[in-house]
Amino acid sequence: MNKELLRKHIADYLAERKANRARFDADLEERKERAAYYQSWTPERLQHMSGEEFAEYLSKLWAMRIWGNKQYVVDKLIADNGLPNLLKHLSDLIWSVLPLDQRWETFRKTVKGVVPAMMSEILCHVHPTTCMLWNRRAYVGLNYLGVPDLPRYNYQLTGRKYQDLCNTAGDIAKEMQALGDDDANLFTVDYFIWGESQVAENLTDIYKPIPAPAPPPHVDTVDAVTSDFIHDEVRDKIADIGTWLGFQADTEKKVAGGAVVDAIWEATIGNMGRVIYIFEVQTKGSIDGLILNLLRSLNNPAVQGVVAVSDTTQLEKIKSEVATVPNLKDKLKYWNYSQVLEVHEALESVNEAINSLGLVPEGF
């Protein structure tokens, strides 16, 4: 980390806070209220949450700003995980006495659909002295400050990596304390990154593409655990993209006899019926299995398009295999999974910016 650059921005931040005390105090009070709300949910209260309380709990998160219809996200999480199971694992993530990296790793392997930005925000609200808030803005800020080996994608944010990031944020908090912010903690660090992003040229264009290393070009060569996380992240982001484009989207959906596909986009056209687009994500495993699943899905007459998603090398292998399959070769489309991640990131930024305008009331 570039400590000289960090100290310069801390000094700028503290000067700005002194010059605009009323605004900073109001923002700080709002953050304290948010932290108090999340800290009030003890393990016992958490595990007895109602569905309505859980919806309010999640809807308050900044990570939910990308969703105009927050209830849709809540309903899907409950449907995918079951509310009692979801609340049990959430309670363990926040309150278990196990080391932070173990709690993080267990939760991300067990619970479907709760992304790292949501996990870290809850942890930071409840434990502001030990847990940082990780999101796109934190990535941009730490990247600007010269912190190496930052996770660009969700599958890269392991428990060990999140602990390392918390340690880095702790170092920033210590620098802030040394320069006069006696009460600085990891929640304050998020405030600092947010505030300085308005004045630092490198951080101002928060929605512009961020230069970063590409994902692994050969997904089939990574370890099985990483492969599974890449598969699930790509699958879930395909569903997100479909939802943002106005489709009814879902994952792990049965569309025909013997065909459960990774993701679908579905639209209803007036009273004429449904149109379905199928996506199968290939990381490891048999290409023959992927082809068979796609062929079975085409038995559903509503299926109008099928898409194979993988890295460049495997997509070429799939094309070669499909060339001898008459019912599929002219229908199958191909999408590089790194492009899926890029499209999702772009649409996420657009949705966050538009939803921040508050054009449609929440719950509409």
pLDDT computed for residue 348 by the predictor = 84
How is the chain split into domains, by residue range?
3-213, 219-348
Quick one: pLDDT at residue 214?
A: 55
In angstroms, rounded to a whole number, what is the distance separating the alpha carbons of residues 341 and 233?
A: 9
Q: Pairing state of beta strands 273-281 and 303-310?
A: parallel
Give the span between the Cα atoms of 27 and 358, in whole angstroms.
19
Query: 327 — phi, psi (to 5°)?
Result: -75, -5
Task: Report the candidate in 2, 357, 15 with the shortest Cα–Cα distance to residue 192.
Answer: 15
In 257-294, beta strands by DSSP E:
259-269, 273-281
pTM of the full structure: 0.79
Residues of the chain with pLDDT under 50: 199-201, 203-207, 209-213, 363-364
pLDDT (0 to 100) of residue 330: 87
Q: Tell me if residue 20 falls in helix, strand or coil.
A: coil
Task: Enter the tokens of residue 124.
Answer: 């930071």
H/E/C letters for each residue in 128-181? CCCCCCCCHHHHHHHHHCCCCCCCCCHHHCCHHHHHHHHHHHHHHHHHHHHCCC
Nearest Cα residue to 85 out of 142, 47, 53? 47
Q: Which two tokens stand for residue 191?
A: 């405030």
**Cβ atoms of residues 219 and 310 within 8 Å:** yes
Q: What is the pLDDT of residue 284?
A: 78
At the second CATH level, the architecture of 219-348 is 3-Layer(aba) Sandwich (3.40)
Contacts of residue 28, Cβ cutoff 8 Å, sequence gap at least 6: 191
With beta carbons less than 8 A apart as the criterion, state whether 337 and 311 touch: yes
Q: Look at residue 206 in the predicted model and tell me its pLDDT.
A: 44
Q: What is the pLDDT of residue 204?
A: 46
> Which parts of the chain fold into alpha helices (H)?
3-19, 21-39, 43-46, 51-59, 70-81, 83-95, 100-110, 116-126, 136-144, 159-178, 186-196, 201-204, 224-244, 287-297, 312-322, 326-329, 337-355
Q: CA 363, CA 337: separation in Å to the nearest integer?
A: 32
Could you tell me which of 43, 79, 37, 80 has the C-alpha nearest to residue 61? 37
Contact, 39 vs 125, CB < 8 A? yes
